Chains A and B, each alone.
Chain A
Amino acid sequence: MSILIYIDHADGQIKKSALEAISYGAALAKNLNTTAEAIVLGKVNEDLAGLGAYGLSAVHQAADEAFDKADAQALAKTVAGVAGTLSAEVVIFAANANGIALAPRVAVRLKAGLVSSAVALPDTHTEAGFTVKKVVFSGKAFAHVKINTPVKVITLTGNSYPAQKAAGTATVSQLDLHPDLSKVTITGVQKVEGEVPLTEAEIVVSGGRGLKGPENWNLITDLAHVLHGAVACSRPVADDGWRPHHEHVGQTGIQIAPNLYIAIGISGAIQHLGGVNRSKTIVVINKDPEAPFFKAADYGIIGDAFEVVPRLTEAIKAIKG
């Protein structure tokens, strides 16, 4: 019996969301009196034994580079196989692009119940049995979902469980495994250089129609840069082509829960709020005192973004030194 965590990585580096998943899995293992182990498929340039500091007792790696290009079908088969060999009771993924591709497939292979987008550790001692809290209605509510099967699969929402580093080393073992031939071929990758991915960002600065046009976006990006944050926008901003689609947050866009969300010139429509209201601290800058967003905010300034934002950027710069 053990908890198995899938370690997601890109360009040889372990993702922050994977470290969160490890810490989450390690805490769950402790609650269940078992061990947390991890599986790494493909090549990483990091010290895997060092992941013991996040609470792992063992890391199982299949280092065949073919895994780096393998499709979800092939990866899921391998992960499910390893989970079976280790008699894993719970398999955990980050709820990101790869997690969404893999977890449902692994769950089917293991005949396991799946809870996606978990936001807290499972409750293992309730009357209901094993329940997991997850986001529903695009952030407007939470559900406690009970898993009825002996093997369970969970994907963890980004930024909802902190990566916790202490001391410790994990044993690292190499698995002689190779992926099936992929049916999907990757023909191109277009990365936006130097930007913090929205789903992993701890700070997000977001602009709405109040910014008047794409030519004014330096207000948003300058503030994001001093805070080392990511940039987001409301839906009409992406629809009008002012900003790329992948920056659109909300109920029908990306759902995020950063530590700080700064909404500038965004009215706070219910569909927008759904995707961002789990942010820990929300700052709203809007010239309309009646903007609904103020009701969901922790801090607010009523004023013209074109005046307020540059001053805020300078003030933060001054504190950062």
Chain B
Amino acid sequence: MKILVAVSKAPDTTAKITFKDNNTAFNEDGVQWIVNPYDEWYALVRAIELKEAAPDTIIHLVSVDDSGADVILRKALALGGDEAIRVNIKPTDSFSVASQLAAVAREGAYDLILTGKETIDFNDGAVPGMLAELLDIPCIPVATKLTVENGKAVVVKEIEGGEQTEEVAFPVLISCAKGMAKQRMAGIRNVIAARSKTIKVVEPVAVDRLTEAVSFELPAAKTGVKMIEAGQEAELARLLHEEAKVF
């Protein structure tokens, strides 16, 4: 089986979110970059687990980004995967990313494409569905379990108020969320081994820009917390009922 895992670079989850140029751009100063958690913890690790169970599996990683993403790809390669591909263009909107990924996916004829549920910066959750549509293959988004049984993918995904099990033949695209795999760390040996793995750089295809973020804002700060003494829970209940009117 041939697996493609799409990984993106994301700001560390503790990064202070600020904007610059009159709130038109994310201020990247001092931001630490990580592998987008959904891509690393769930998509990539599940791919590695599948390879451990079936060693002839081939795993390629792909990222659409400039050379700033190479460290992220190395980090991901240290966890596992045979080689990485970087499409040499700074990601803009979901459609352009999906279009670049589609070109890579067509080239490699993968059986299984794994992505994260969403990126933690733009939170679009749109690349998986777009990529699947561009490739004309099925997509199961926000999956929490994936096994391969009788040559088919058996997938559990979240639905409102529960979960659903689905079965699908390959090729298929699955976007991964919590539950999919157990988070792991790369050992020092793997970090060293990853240094000699290939990062193939490919040039982007031409794509129209369908959307663009024109400005950003931070949520309004809370005006101050009203503290209630322990023991005065009846007062809190009254405030919630009469002042906040939430029940």
Which of B127, B133, B236 touches A109 (beta carbons < 8 Å)? B133
A66 within 8 A of B: no
From B129, B137, B144, name the one whose CB has the most chain A CB atoms within 10 angstroms: B129
A149 B210 Cβ-Cβ under 8 A: yes
B162 A184 Cβ-Cβ under 8 A: no
A104 B158 Cβ-Cβ under 8 A: no
B106 within 8 A of A: no
Q: Would you give the shortest CB distance from B36 to chain A, in whole angstroms?
A: 10
From B128, B161, B228, name the one whose CB has the most chain A CB atoms within 10 angstroms: B161
A128 within 8 A of B: yes
A103 B144 Cβ-Cβ under 8 A: no
Which of B133, B163, B216 touches A108 (beta carbons < 8 Å)? B133
B215 within 8 A of A: yes
Chain B stretch 194-247: residues in CB contact (< 8 A) with chain A: 208-219, 222, 225-234, 236-241, 244, 246-247
Alpha-carbon distance between A123 and B240 when the two chains are bound, in angstroms: 33
A252 B38 Cβ-Cβ under 8 A: yes
* Stretch touching chain B among A31-39, A56-64, A276-284: A276-284
Q: Which residues of B have CB within 8 Å of A295? A: 222, 225
**Known pairs A97-B141, A136-B121, A189-B159; A245 contacts B132 (CB<8 A):** no
B228 A144 Cβ-Cβ under 8 A: no
Q: Which residues of A have CB within 8 Å of B137? A: 73
A312 within 8 A of B: yes
**Known pairs A72-B139, A144-B213, A252-B178; A105 contacts B132 (CB<8 A):** yes
Sorting the interface of chain A by its residue count into under 10, 10 to 19, 20 to 34 or 35 or more gives 35 or more
Closest-by-CB residue of B relative to A238 is B178
Chain A stretch 253-283: residues in CB contact (< 8 A) with chain B: 253, 255, 259-260, 270-271, 274, 277-278, 280-283
B130 A271 Cβ-Cβ under 8 A: no
A1 within 8 A of B: no
A131 within 8 A of B: yes
The number of residue pairs between A and B whose CB atoms lie closer than 8 Å in the complex comes to 279
A215 within 8 A of B: no
Q: Which residues of B have CB within 8 Å of A315? A: 233-234, 236-238
Chain A stretch 122-173: residues in CB contact (< 8 A) with chain B: 128, 131, 134-149
Which of A116, A128, A301 touches B228 (beta carbons < 8 Å)? A301
A141 B17 Cβ-Cβ under 8 A: yes
**Known pairs A104-B128, A144-B215, A311-B233; A296 contacts B133 (CB<8 A):** no
Closest-by-CB residue of B relative to A113 is B210
B13 within 8 A of A: yes
A188 B165 Cβ-Cβ under 8 A: yes
A interface, over-half SS = mixed
Alpha-carbon distance between A253 and B123 when the two chains are bound, in angstroms: 12
**Known pairs A101-B129, A128-B214, A144-B216; A308 contacts B123 (CB<8 A):** no
A184 B168 Cβ-Cβ under 8 A: yes
A300 within 8 A of B: yes
Alpha-carbon distance between A115 and B229 when the two chains are bound, in angstroms: 44
Closest-by-CB residue of A relative to B212 is A146
Q: Which residues of B have CB within 8 Å of A116? A: 94, 123-126
Q: Would you give the shortest CB distance from B223 to chain A, in whole angstroms?
A: 8
Q: Which residues of B have CB within 8 Å of A302? A: 227, 230
A45 within 8 A of B: no
B108 within 8 A of A: no
Q: Which residues of B have CB within 8 Å of A253? A: 178
**Known pairs A147-B210, A301-B229, A320-B247; A141 contacts B218 (CB<8 A):** yes
B86 within 8 A of A: no
Pairs A-B, 6 closest by C-beta atoms: A104-B129, A303-B230, A113-B210, A315-B237, A191-B162, A197-B161
Name A residues whose Cβ lies closer than 8 Å to a Cβ of B. 10, 15, 71-73, 76, 96-97, 100-105, 107-109, 111-117, 128, 131, 134-149, 183-192, 195-197, 199-200, 202-203, 227, 238, 245-246, 248, 251-253, 255, 259-260, 270-271, 274, 277-278, 280-284, 294-304, 307-308, 311-312, 314-316, 318-320
- A97-B158, A202-B246, A278-B219 are known contacts; what are 15 more A-B pairs with Cβ within 8 Å? A71-B138, A109-B133, A114-B94, A128-B214, A136-B122, A137-B123, A139-B219, A144-B216, A183-B138, A183-B172, A185-B166, A185-B168, A189-B159, A274-B13, A318-B237
Q: Could you show 27 A-B contacts with beta carbons less than 8 Å apart?
A: A15-B160, A97-B142, A100-B125, A100-B126, A104-B129, A107-B126, A116-B126, A142-B218, A149-B210, A184-B167, A185-B168, A186-B165, A187-B167, A189-B162, A227-B247, A251-B120, A283-B236, A295-B225, A296-B222, A297-B222, A298-B222, A299-B236, A301-B228, A308-B230, A311-B234, A316-B240, A319-B237
